[in-house]
Each structure stands twice: as C-alpha cells, then as structure tokens.
Amino acid sequence: MVLDPQKILNWPFQPVEQTYAGRDTILYALGCGLGADPLDERQLRFVFEEPELLALPSMAAVLSPPGFWARHPESGIDWVRILHGEQAMEIHKPLPAAATVVATAKVTDIVDKGAGRGALLFVQRTVREVETGEALATLRSTTFARGDGGCGGTTETAPAPHPIPDRAPDLTCDLPTALNQALIYRLSGDPNPLHASPSVARAAGFERPILHGLCSWGVAGHAILKFYCDYDPARIRSMALRFSAPVYPGETIRTEMWRSGDIVSFRARVVERDVVVLNNGRAEVSG
C-alpha cells in the first residue's frame, strides 16, 4: 500500500480528550530541565505548587496529541522512515496548571518532494478547554515522510523557513540537560523506546538513546522565557522551529537569540559537539 493524499487529507481523526493535573504540569517542566537550580525561585513557580503553579507555554505541544496515527496500516505511510521535521504553536490563552482539554487533528497539506526525496505532511490541531470551550493553543507540526516521495500532493512547495540573522546573536543561553532527562521527559507522553533503550537506539544508528525533539523544543522555550519574558508565560504568544539534529542526554543546549521588536529569532546548538540541533526558530513575545 502507498500513501494516498486524499485518504490522508480525510483521515478520520477522533477527538482526543485529556485531563491533566498539577502533577503532570510539574513533571513536564522537570522533563524540560526546570528546577535544575532548586534555589531559583523563578523556575520554582513551574515545579512547585506554592504560591501558584504555572504551566510552561511549550507544554501545549504535548496536550491531546493524535497519537502515532501514521503507523496505521491503512495510512500507506512508510512509518519507519518518518521524522518530526518542524513544530509550531500559537498561544491564545495561558495554559492552566490543571484542566481537561480536547483537540482533533487534521492533515492540512501534503508536499510531494519527488520520488526518492520524500513528502511533507502538515498536521494541525487546536487545543480547547472542555469546561469553557475556549481555545488555548493551535499546534502545527510537519512530518517528513522520507519513504513516500512520488505520492502526489496538494501543495507544490513548502513555506520558506524563518531566516536567522547573519550576525552574532544578541543573547545566548546555555542550559545543560541531565543524563536521565529523556527518562523523565518520556513520562509526559512519548514512550518511544528510542529515548530509553540503548539496544533500540543502537539499532536505529545512534550510539545511545537520544533526547526527544520536543524536549529540546521545551529547552529552547525555557531560554526565551528566561531572557525575554522574565519567566512570565503570558508573554509568549507563538513559537516555531525546525529540528535539525538529535541531542544526547547530558549535553548542553546553547540557544542563540536575536530580537527585533516583538520577534525573537533563534537557533540552538549542542555545545559539546558544536552541532545545530534546532534551526530557523521564531518566537513572538510581548513586553
């Protein structure tokens, strides 16, 4: 079976309802490295209930996800060869520290890069609070289906990536990851053994388990929250980036940032290997 664009565009996604509590919000923040300095009271607001627990904006990316739908045999997708290429979020309202939310995913576009070159699947979902019906965040992700080029598509070209300024960054933020960080982060909803099992990681071509891409996303979000928002989550309006290389737990992620008005351009590299792991980042902040 091969990927049928019309079938994928009309894939029968079901609403996903999720109830999360303060414990889940804290666990997510710990998985992204918050609380590494337990005496930093600004970070403590995301990992301790008193006086008021706050949720990281980047947590929106793990709320009411559609699951590993591409693995369904009827999809025709070569799921073994897919990669998470891009992630974006638009925050409509600060995330509550605890809530019941619901979202329904939809494939909005498919870009066929050609036979042997893969295809890009663009997926969108809006997370809403069940009690009020209000939209909290809209998530957009791009999946690179490396084995599905030549399938035909709905759009000829993908949107151009956000450009990074050709000058030294205005600010840099080094945030170390813990050796066991992937083991903590996976408890927020991604149990893929690639991030926990040394044998699975070696079979996939890595020397050891790698950090989740969305964990690296959370680390970059932490850097922006720290330097441009004074740890006020209400000041982050949107964030988008491309995943360019894996991170190994224990490595230091250096986020390089450039500000122009309300727009922060950013990328992140692993200090120990001098490899760019997140690229073409764009965040909108207020204040």
72 phi and psi angles, rounded to 5 deg: -60, 130
Q: Give me the catalytic one of 24, 112, 148, 190.
A: 190
Structure tokens at 139: 């998530």
Catalytic site includes residue 213: yes
Q: Which burial class, exposed, middle or buried, applies to 2 when counting CB atoms under 10 A from its CB (0-12, 13-18, 19+)?
A: exposed
CB atoms within 10 A of CB 31: 27
Alpha-carbon Rg for the chain, nearest whole angstrom, is 19
Catalytic site includes residue 190: yes
Q: Does residue 51 have a cis bond before it (omega within 30 degrees)? A: yes
| DSSP letters spanning 230-264 | TT-GGGEEEEEEEE-S---TTPEEEEEEEEETTEE
Reading phi first (left if > 0) and then psi (alpha if -120 to 50, else beta), residue 189 is in left
Residue in this structure with the two tokens 């929250």, named with its chain if needed: 225
Contact 129, 100 (CB under 8 A): yes
State the alpha helices, DSSP H only, in 37-171. 41-44
Amino acid at 274: D
Q: Give me the catalytic one of 77, 91, 110, 210.
A: 210
Catalytic site includes residue 31: no
Q: Give me the catalytic one of 213, 218, 221, 281.
A: 213
Q: Give me the catalytic one of 31, 153, 195, 212.
A: 195
Structure tokens at 207: 């020397």
Catalytic site includes residue 174: no
Closest alpha carbon to 201 in 218, 189, 186? 186
Positions annotated as catalytic residues are 190, 195, 210, 213
